[in-house]
C-alpha cells in the first residue's frame, strides 16, 4: 500500500503507476511536482525515454542529476537538432558528460552531423540499440568494438576503410547501413534483418567498390528481412535481379526509390516504369517464402482510391504462394514537381480468407486538389 503525503488515504502503488501511465507525457512534469511520491514514480516514466531536438537543456539536467541519469533507458538527439540549436564544441562536450552519467542506457540514437564520434568515448552503458549519423572514424569503431550487447545498429555514413574486429558484436541481429559497413558487419554474425542504405554524395564510391552482393550470404543465420533503400540506380537494379539467388528464404522485403530505377539508369539500361513493375512482379514470384512486401516508389501512378490500389496489389501478387501482406506508397502525380513534399498515401493490404483487404490507410496532402481527391475517395476510411 502507498501513503500519499498530505492525505490520510492509502492505495496500492499499482494504481498510481496506472494513473501515471495513462497521463499525457506532457503532463508528467506537473504531476512530478505534486509531492515526493508522485515525483519518485513519475520521474521513472518522464526520464525513461528521452527524445529531443534541443539537447543542451536536457543534457545539462542529466549531468547535474545522477539520480535522474540512472532512470534513462533510451536517449535520442532527433533529426534537425543542428538546425534547431547551434551545436558548438561546448555542446558536444555537454552531450559527452550526459552519456557518461547514463550508465543504464540501453538505446542511443544520435542524429548529429560531422566528426563527433569522440563523444562516444564517455559512453560505457551496455547498449542494445544504437544509431549514429555522424562520420565514421576510429572513435566510432572503438566504441562498436567495446559494445558486446549490441543487437541493433544503424549507421548512415559510409565506412571508408575502418575495420571492426570479427570477434565483436556477437549478438548483432539487425543492421541498417551503407554496403561498405554491411560487408564486414554481417560476416560471421547472427544477422537476420538488413537495411541497405545509400547517400547520393558517395554513389561513385559504391559503384567502384561494390561489384556483388555475396556478403549477404555471410551471416551465421539466414537473412529473413531486407530493406533496399535509396541505392544507386544501377546497384538497385542489380540487387533486385539477384535477391532470389542470394536470399531464397527471405520473408520480408522493402523496395524504396523504385522510381529512380526507371529514371536514373545508364542510357543503355534505362527502363520505363512498366518495365520496373514487371521486374518487381517477377521478383515476387521468384521468392516462394516471401510473406510481406513494401513498395515505396512512383512506378504505379495509381489513383487515390482503395479500389485502384487493390487492383494493383491483386495483379502484382497473383501466383505468389506465401504472400500475405502488401504495403504501397502512392504519390500524387500532378503535384509531384510542385511541392517539396509531394502528396502521398500509404496503404497496407492483408490477405484475409483469400481476398486482399485494406487494413490501414494514411495520407499526407499538401495541395488542395489532392486533398479534395483523397476526401472524395474516402482514403482515410
pTM: 0.80
Per-residue pLDDT at 220: 94
Residue 40 to residue 44: CA distance in whole angstroms: 7
Per-residue pLDDT at 257: 64
- Are the C-beta atoms of residues 297 and 257 closer than 8 Å to each other? yes
Q: What DSSP assignment string belongs to 110-173?
A: E---SS-GGGGGG--S--SEEEE-S---HHHHHHHHH-TT--EEEE-SPPSS----TTS-TT--
**Which cell numbers hold the place of 123?**
559512453
Residue 46 to residue 38: CA distance in whole angstroms: 11
Name residues of the chain where pLDDT drops below 70: 1-11, 13-14, 16-25, 27-34, 36-37, 39-44, 80-90, 198-212, 230-240, 257-274, 276, 297-304, 332-342, 366, 373-381
- Are the C-beta atoms of residues 178 and 201 closer than 8 Å to each other? no
Per-residue pLDDT at 265: 36
Q: Which of 149, 155, 143 is nearest to 173 (CA)?
A: 149
Max Cα–Cα distance, the chain, nearest Å:
82
What residues contact 303, with CB distance under 8 A and at least 6 apart?
A: 377
Contacts 24+ apart (CB under 8 A), 1-4: 2/37, 3/37, 4/35, 4/37, 4/38
State residue 175 phi and psi, 5-degree precision: -145, 135
Per-residue pLDDT at 307: 79
Report helix, strand or coil for 312: helix
Per-residue model confidence as pLDDT tens digits over 65-101: 888 898 899 999 987 644 444 566 668 889 999 999 9
Per-residue pLDDT at 86: 52
**Which cell numbers hold the place of 222?**
539466414
Amino acid at each position: 500500500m502507498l501513503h500519499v503525503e498530505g492525505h490520510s488515504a492509502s492505495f496500492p502503488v499499482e494504481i498510481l503507476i496506472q494513473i501515471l501511465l495513462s497521463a499525457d507525457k506532457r503532463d508528467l512534469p506537473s504531476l512530478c511536482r505534486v509531492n515526493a511520491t508522485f515525483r519518485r514514480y513519475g520521474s521513472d516514466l518522464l526520464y525513461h525515454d528521452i527524445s529531443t531536438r534541443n539537447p543542451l537543456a536536457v543534457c545539462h539536467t542529466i549531468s547535474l542529476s545522477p539520480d535522474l541519469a540512472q532512470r534513462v533507458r533510451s536517449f535520442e538527439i532527433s533529426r534537425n537538432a543542428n538546425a534547431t540549436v547551434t551545436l558548438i564544441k561546448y555542446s558536444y562536450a555537454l552531450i559527452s558528460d550526459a552519456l557518461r552519467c547514463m550508465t543504464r542506457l540501453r538505446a542511443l540514437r544520435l542524429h548529429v552531423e560531422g566528426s563527433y564520434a569522440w563523444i562516444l568515448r564517455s559512453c560505457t552503458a551496455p547498449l542494445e540499440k544504437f544509431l549514429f549519423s555522424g562520420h565514421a572514424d576510429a572513435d566510432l569503431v572503438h566504441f562498436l568494438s567495446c559494445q558486446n550487447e549490441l543487437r541493433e545498429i544503424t549507421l548512415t555514413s559510409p565506412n571508408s576503410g575502418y575495420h571492426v574486429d570479427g570477434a565483436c558484436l556477437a549478438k548483432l541481429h539487425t543492421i541498417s547501413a551503407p554496403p561498405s559497413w554491411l560487408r564486414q558487419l554481417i560476416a560471421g554474425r547472427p544477422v537476420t534483418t538488413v537495411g541497405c542504405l545509400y547517400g547520393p554524395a558517395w554513389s561513385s564510391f559504391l559503384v567502384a567498390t561494390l561489384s556483388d552482393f555475396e556478403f549477404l550470404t555471410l551471416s551465421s543465420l539466414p537473412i529473413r528481412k531486407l530493406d533496399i533503400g535509396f541505392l544507386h540506380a544501377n546497384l538497385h537494379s542489380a540487387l533486385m535481379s539477384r535477391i532470389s539467388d542470394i536470399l531464397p528464404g527471405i520473408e520480408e522485403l522493402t523496395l524504396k526509390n523504385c522510381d529512380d530505377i526507371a529514371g536514373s539508369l545508364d542510357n543503355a539500361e534505362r527502363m520505363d516504369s512498366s518495365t520496373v513493375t514487371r521486374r518487381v512482379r517477377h521478383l515476387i514470384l521468384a521468392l516462394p517464402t516471401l510473406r510481406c512486401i513494401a513498395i515505396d516508389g512512383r512506378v504505379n501512378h495509381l489513383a487515390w482510391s482503395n479500389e485502384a490500389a487493390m487492383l494493383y496489389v491483386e495483379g502484382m501478387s497473383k501466383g505468389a504462394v506465401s504472400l500475405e501482406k502488401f504495403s504501397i506508397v502512392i504519390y500524387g502525380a500532378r503535384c509531384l514537381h510542385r511541392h517539396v513534399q509531394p502528396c502521398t498515401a500509404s496503404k497496407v493490404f492483408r490477405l484475409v480468407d483469400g481476398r486482399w483487404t485494406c487494413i490501414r490507410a494514411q495520407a499526407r496532402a499538401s495541395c488542395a486538389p489532392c486533398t479534395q481527391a483523397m476526401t472524395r475517395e474516402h482514403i482515410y476510411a
